[in-house]
Structure 1
Amino acid sequence: MILKQQLWREPWLACFVITAAVSAIQVFPPIGMTLNLFMAPYWSVITLNLGFILIIKACARGNLPRFMLALPLVWFAGYYSLAGYSNWAVSSLDDKIEQEIGAAGAALAPLSADVIVVSEAALSRLSLDYNLKQFYRPPRKNCRSTIKTEVKSNWCDRKGDVQNGCTIMSQPWTSISGKQLCWEQKIAEPLQPAVTITDEGVTADSFWYRGEIHRLSFLTTTGEKFEVSAGRVASLSWFPSPIMGCSLVDQPSSWTCFFRWGYGDLRELGTKAAGQSEVDVIASVLGLSLR
């Protein structure tokens, strides 16, 4: 079939040529770094989608044969199939984590156990924002004793002491709700069954979502172990967002070219409330309420 316009004059073709040209010249680091200042890897989001839309327009005007409609059909329908599965995968992951939290909480709540928190990052939020009355920090390199911290509902002066190589502190804090609290520390072992909480690391991203998924371990003194995931991920965005270009990456340092899809907003897993973190999931498993 003879096209009504010369091929080189077709605007849809210009979109694809621009996409290929911009991506190709980014291979050279000096040019690529300059273009990155103008967000060049994201230009393909506009040029590729515009190219397929212009194919539809050209077919509607009779400037292209109708079989060319197969190209935008495969592009958009194929992508929306991927995006739909990506959102389903995140929802399924969220449901699975909620079930993990429910199962672990049902098993641990009746124990009324002391809590040993290995993750330093979780200590302050658990004790300040939630009604955790006491917790323990296990021995570590510079301090070979278990440190007990009692959280009291009163103000105190900041002071410290060193015992057996361990820094023992009394320290005032303010909770998220504005309550005055005091940390009082001493060397002591748990007097009742304890639950040791460990953050076992962050899992890698998959094609279907991007983000961080922490694997939390709850180990009782009887040897029972419960694992719960927590974190936040983003599924593929509903609008096709192909990102093409090159950038400088670390470990090892190199100029690397890539193609990837754009993702939507991060979504918290295992909780219905926005802005929550793995600390909030720990509190949910332990049955702790906000102060």
Structure 2
Amino acid sequence: MFLLAPLWSVLLINLGFVAMFFEARSGALPRWALVFPVLYFGGYYAVAIYQHLAVNHTIETASAPVSHLKFDPDNTAIESDYGNEEVSHDLLVFCGVARAIEPIYGHDLALVFKRDPSCSAAPASRFSTNLGEMPRHSLTMDRCIVKTRESYNGPVLKISSPYRPGTAEGSSEIIVTASDGSQATIENGSYPALSWFPMPMIGCALQDSPSAWVCDAAFARTRIPMLQPKDGVTGPAIAVANVLGLTRQPL
């Protein structure tokens, strides 16, 4: 955006309250002016801490999926859509699943991914992208996963996150479909909470349909994922593993 306009309100408002605090302390402003920066920062962080604690409590007390699907990790392949590739990767690497597949022409010809048992590299050192070394749970970038093209006619468990029009922001779901057609649905998404640094965003934008200027003033929020990672495994993969009765295995 032009001259980073959204950031000016963040810098100027925060610096203004900081300057007010020191000027009131030094006597350049009346002592009672201290109340404004104290209320601004104190009130902000009181609300931020409350929101983060509430979100963490909601995540910790959220009930795990009650549906458990029949799954044989040695003889059933996992097939995921693009958005759940990391789930397939973590089930393959950390949870003992034998193979993941990516169909090319149906299942008559598929990319089959298997973990290389001879590879001893630590997970964080096995990934690379064009942007340099960057950890990412990816079937195609993990150097310890072997990829072949072959025919696969065995049972398949599918993991998908279908797009649903009208879904609320931060809300989604993961659908796990077993080879016998049974399904389990896992709620995914995120909860909003104030960021740990006050970021008042104030400005106007021109919108279409109908054409009009729309102005807004609010504090920026961060989004905390419902499914939290643990021990190097992504949150969605942990949730799917629970549905399938899988546990994390030592590398």
TM value normalised by structure 1: 0.52
Alignment deviations for residues 160-198 of structure 1 (CA, whole Å, 9 cap, x no partner): xxxxxxxxxxxxx96724343324234x474xxx75433
Residues 272 and 254 from structure 1, CA distance in 2 versus in 1: closer, same or farther, beyond 3 angstroms?
A: farther
Aligned to 2:29: 63
Larger relative helix fraction: 1
For these two proteins, the number of residue pairs brought into alignment is 218
Is 1:112–2:72 an aligned residue pair?
yes
Q: Is the 8 A contact 1:268 1:276 kept in 2?
A: no
Residue aligned with 1:269, SS: coil
Is 1:182–2:148 an aligned residue pair?
yes
Instruction: Determine which of 1, 5, 19 is the counterpart of 1:54.
Output: 19
Is 1:88–2:48 an aligned residue pair?
no
Is 1:100–2:64 an aligned residue pair?
yes
Q: Is the 8 A contact 1:270 1:281 kept in 2?
A: no
1:76 Cα shift?
Answer: 1.8
Quick one: distance in 2 between partners of 1:137 and 1:285? 22
1:261 Cα shift?
Answer: 2.0
Q: Is the 8 A contact 1:41 1:246 kept in 2?
A: no
Residues 204 and 270 from structure 1, CA distance in 2 versus in 1: closer, same or farther, beyond 3 angstroms?
A: same
Give runs of aligned pairs for residues 1-291 of structure 1, distance below 5 A: 36-60=1-25, 61=27, 63-64=29-30, 66=32, 68-96=33-61, 99-100=63-64, 107-108=68-69, 111-112=71-72, 114=76, 117=79, 119-122=81-84, 126=88, 129-130=92-93, 131-134=96-99, 151=113, 176-186=142-152, 188=153, 190=155, 195-201=157-163, 204-205=168-169, 212=170, 214-220=172-178, 225-230=183-188, 235-247=193-205, 256-263=214-221, 269-273=227-231, 276=234, 278=236, 281-283=239-241, 285-286=243-244, 287=246
Q: Which 10-residue stretch deviates more, 219-228 or 80-89?
A: 219-228
Residue aligned with 1:49, SS: helix
Structure whose alpha-carbon radius of gyration is higher:
1
Alignment deviations for residues 255-288 of structure 1 (CA, whole Å, 9 cap, x no partner): 6433232345976832225683645653564427
Quick one: distance in 1 between partners of 2:211 and 2:154? 47
- The two structures, once aligned, show a CA RMSD in angstroms of 4.7
Consecutive unaligned residues of structure 2, counting only runs of 5 or more, are 117-138
The amino acid of 1:227's aligned partner reads: T
Identity score, percent? 23
The amino acid of 2:44's aligned partner reads: Y
Consecutive unaligned residues of structure 1, counting only runs of 5 or more, are 1-35, 155-172, 206-211
Residues 71 and 148 from structure 1, CA distance in 2 versus in 1: closer, same or farther, beyond 3 angstroms?
A: same
Quick one: distance in 1 between partners of 2:82 and 2:108? 13
TM value normalised by structure 2: 0.59
1:84 Cα shift?
Answer: 0.8
Quick one: distance in 2 between partners of 1:277 and 1:269? 4
Quick one: distance in 1 between partners of 2:186 and 2:30? 55
Q: Is the 8 A contact 1:95 1:270 kept in 2?
A: no
Q: Is the 8 A contact 2:99 2:113 kept in 1?
A: yes
Residue aligned with 1:100, SS: coil
